[in-house]
Structures are given as structure tokens and as C-alpha cells.
């Protein structure tokens, strides 16, 4: 990834579909001096994403796209990203799979956080699967986004112990707390 020149931060968009706790955390991180990125745009595929409130709270532009006709929508998003001079994308709980064509336009500049120790448990219900399989560890991974789901190069990963007391929901909470540390660290790594 290109080195930072001077104090200019890389204009970044965050894509969400839900609560947006990672989004909030990335926004807060982006405001510290050493952050290589600024958050200039929030994109969601649904107006039901409660994380959209952080756009208003932090005065960041937001846009909701209905992903029913994928090709058209992605074209519109690309136009918006260009208009806003967005150079980097963080997916944070975004529940749509972007097309190969879209990803190629931002090659190496889209990253995602996934709540498992990739390559284990790509896709959904990661915590259920880890507990059902009696795994000793769960975790989270920040990785580059490629056309193959949850398969791009790993940037950082954090391992978390699963205890006998854990259920999918307690584990999700534990992992999420670590996600909030991992995502900013991964962003720093990308730009260093
Ligand atoms: C996180 O667990 C993330 O790893 C996954 O979706 C969840 C999003 O949580 N991709 P939030 O919306 O950031 O609170």
C-alpha cells in the first residue's frame, strides 16, 4: 500500500449492514493523529442498519443502496466513490458479496473483518460452528478482499480462548471486543 505523504489521510469508505460497532471504532481511530485514514463515506445495503446513526453522530456522509440489481448498484457506488475521492474501503459487517468486477476496480484496497480464525469458518455462523466442533480457540481476522469469499491475504489475526462456559452469543461478544482492537491495528499495518 502507498506510503502516507505528509499529513494527508487516505479517504476511506466503510460498508456496513448492521450495528456498526466496528464502524464506530474505526471512526474514532481515524480521528487520532497517527491514523493513516479518514472516514469520509458510509455505505449500507439497508436503511435498517442501526450503525447508520454514526454517520449523523460523526457528521459523515452516508448512502444506502438497494442491492437488488447488483450490476447497476455497483456502478452507482463506483461513481460515488470516485466523486468523493475514496481510495480505500473497509468492510465492517457488510452482508453483501461484492462482484469480481467491483473488487478489481479497488484491487488491494478493500479489507474486511471476519469473526473466525480464517481459513477456518468462512461465511456465516462462525461462533456456532466453532463451539459445535469443540474448538479450543476462536478469533477474528482482518484480510484483503478478493473475489473468493473470505479468502484474501491475511493482514492480522487474533486468537481467543473458548471456555466451557461459552455459548455462541458470549463468544461473539468476546470476539467483537477483540475485533475493535484488531481492525485499527490492521489498518496501521496496511499503510506501514
Ligand atoms: C462482526 O462480528 C464482524 O466480524 C462481522 O460482522 C460483525 C459486525 O459487527 N463481519 P458490527 O456491525 O461491527 O457491530
Average pLDDT over residues 115-131: 98
Compute the average pLDDT of residues 96-125: 97
Taking only the tens place, the pLDDT of each residue in 132-190 is: 999 999 999 999 999 999 999 999 999 999 999 999 999 999 999 999 999 999 999 99
pTM to 2 decimal places: 0.95
Question: Which amino acid residue places its CA nearest to atom 2 of ligand 1?
Answer: 115
pLDDT in tens, 7-50: 699 999 999 999 999 999 999 999 999 999 999 999 999 999 99
Q: What pLDDT is stored for residue 2 in this prediction?
A: 56
Residues acting as catalytic residues:
114
pLDDT at 70: 83
What is the C-alpha to C-alpha distance for residues 41 and 109, in angstroms, rounded to an integer? 15
DSSP bridge partners of 88: 12
- Give the Cα separation of 190 and 192 in Å (integer): 6
Q: Which residue has the higher pLDDT, 6 or 57?
A: 57
Q: How many residues does the chain have?
A: 192
Cα 34 to ligand 1 centre (Å): 24
CB atoms within 10 A of CB 174: 18
- Single out the residue of 43, 36, 38 nearest to residue 78, CA to CA: 43
CA 177 / ligand 1 centre spacing (Å): 10
Q: Return the pLDDT at 164.
A: 95
What's the sign of the alpha-carbon dihedral 47, 50, 51, 56?
positive
- Pocket test of ligand 1: the residue of 176, 180, 182, 183 to mutate, having most ligand atoms within 8 Å of its CB, is 176
Q: How close is the Cα of 28 to the center of ligand 1, in Å?
A: 16
Confidence of residue 4 (pLDDT cuts 50, 70, 90): low
* 44 class by beta-carbon count within 10 Å (0-12 exposed, 13-18 middle, 19+ buried): buried
Q: Which residues line ligand 1 (CB under 6 A)?
A: 16, 18-23, 51, 92-93, 113-115, 140, 176, 179
Is the confidence at residue 80, as pLDDT, over 90? Answer: yes
For strands 37-44 and 61-64, give the pairing.
Answer: parallel
CA quadruple 122, 128, 133, 138: dihedral sign: positive
CA distance 90 to 26: 9
Residue (of 22, 15, 174) closest to 109 by Cα position? 15
Contact 60, 40 (CB under 8 A): yes
Amino acid at each position: 500500500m502507498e506510503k502516507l505523504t505528509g499529513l494527508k489521510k487516505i479517504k476511506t469508505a466503510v460498508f456496513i449492514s448492521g450495528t456498526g460497532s466496528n464502524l464506530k471504532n474505526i471512526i474514532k481511530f481515524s480521528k487520532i493523529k497517527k491514523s493513516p485514514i479518514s472516514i469520509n463515506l458510509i455505505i449500507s445495503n439497508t436503511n435498517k442498519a442501526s450503525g447508520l446513526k454514526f454517520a449523523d453522530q460523526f457528521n459523515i456522509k452516508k448512502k444506502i443502496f438497494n442491492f437488488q440489481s447488483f450490476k447497476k448498484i455497483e456502478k452507482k457506488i463506483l461513481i460515488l466513490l470516485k466523486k468523493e475521492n475514496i481510495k480505500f474501503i473497509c468492510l465492517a459487517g457488510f452482508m453483501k458479496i461484492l462482484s469480481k468486477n467491483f473488487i478489481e476496480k479497488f484491487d488491494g484496497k478493500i479489507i474486511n473483518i471476519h469473526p473466525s480464525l480464517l481459513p477456518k469458518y468462512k461465511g456465516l455462523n462462525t461462533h456456532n460452528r466453532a463451539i459445535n466442533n469443540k474448538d479450543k480457540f476462536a478469533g477474528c481476522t482482518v484480510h484483503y478482499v478478493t473475489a473468493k469469499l473470505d479468502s484474501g491475504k491475511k493482514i492480522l489475526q487474533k486468537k481467543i480462548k473458548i471456555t466451557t462456559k461459552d455459548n455462541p452469543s458470549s463468544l461473539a461478544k468476546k470476539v467483537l471486543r477483540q475485533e475493535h482492537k484488531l481492525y485499527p491495528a490492521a489498518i496501521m499495518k496496511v499503510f506501514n
